[in-house]
Structure 1
Amino acid sequence: MKTEDAGSSVLETWTVEEVAEAFDRNEIVLIDVRTPQEYMFEHVEGALLMPMAFFRAEKLPGQSDKRIVFHCGSGVRSEKVARAAMAAGCDRIAHMEGGFGAWKAAKKPYIGTNMATGAPTPMG
């Protein structure tokens, strides 16, 4: 995990492995900030959807029970959202390096779309 101090806040950049392990142990809430269309086509099973276009940092819950880790397609949008959360007062926030593309490249499980039927299908 990489960390960056930004005043009174810390931005953490987690690897896919770190996210997958913490997610499996139910230690984090994984929030997907891609569009609803991207999420519907393929997503990490159990990740929550909070599209960047509708993101309101002040509405985030506290992190006393589970840490929040954002992800997007490549890591660019999730970093922007994480920085917005820091600006809204989150003192420690994280995002996943490389986004969903890195998740798939690491052969982690996800829900995709069966192109023949349109049905959600486990992948990876």
Structure 2
Amino acid sequence: MSIKTVIDIVVLILIVWFLYTRLKPVKGLKNLKPEDFLNETKNNNKCIVVDVREPGEYKRGYIKGAVNIPLSQLQRRLAEIPEDKTVLLYCQSGMRSKNAAKVLRRSGYSNIAHLQGGVSAWGYKLTHK
């Protein structure tokens, strides 16, 4: 086997591993469709809605009642998220909210859901500052 073939195989394995780690389901995370997410925000008074997008994205439009805690700041701002509430996460497409859910799970949070497809799939009115 040539060295080029070995390198190609290693690169392919790394790409597959990277994709798997990014796309695999997060244990204990509920995936909510926009309608279910909206109902949860309206009917669950024991929830907090967290927008994990960056501040510039948040200012362009956010779900009413959401607090902006960017994924890049989440670890150091965990104290702002009560552990006894349902945490409803969203981002632009659903990828960052899944990563945020991983951070929260590792930090002891258990009741976590996210907006499947993010605000790109939302379809309802967004609030603007």
Tell me the distance in 2 between the aligned counterparts of 1:89 and 1:51.
Answer: 19
> Equivalent residue of 1:69, what SS?
strand
Distance 2:59 2:26 in 1: 34
Q: 1:12 aligns with which of 25, 30, 46?
A: 30
2:102 equivalent in structure 1 = 83
Using structure 1 for the length normalisation, give the TM-score: 0.73
Distance in 1 (CA, whole Å) between partners of 2:98 and 2:39 is 20
1:99 corresponds to which letter in structure 2? G
Give the Cα separation in 1 of the matches to 2:116 and 2:32: 6
**RMSD in angstroms over aligned alpha carbons?**
1.9
Which structure: larger Rg? 2
2:88 alignment partner in structure 1: 69
Give the TM-score normalised by structure 2.
0.70
Equivalence for 2:127: 111
Shift of 1:41: 1.2
Q: Secondary structure at the residue paired with 1:110?
A: coil
Q: Give the residue type in structure 1 aligned to 2:109.
A: C
The equivalent residue for 1:116 is none
SS at match of 1:17: helix
**What stretches of structure 2 of length at least 5 have no aligned partner?**
1-24
The match for 2:116 among 81, 90, 97 is 97
Quote the sequence identity (%).
Answer: 27
Partner of 2:43: 25
Shift of 1:44: 1.1
The answer to whether the 8 A contact 2:26-2:98 is kept is: no
Moved over 6 A (4+): none
Measured after TM superposition, the shift of residue 92 of structure 1 is 3.0
Match of residue 115 from structure 1: none
- Structure with greater strand share of residues: 1
Pairwise CA distance, 1:47: 0.8
Any unmatched runs of 5+ in structure 1? 113-119
**Whose helix proportion is higher, 1 or 2?**
2
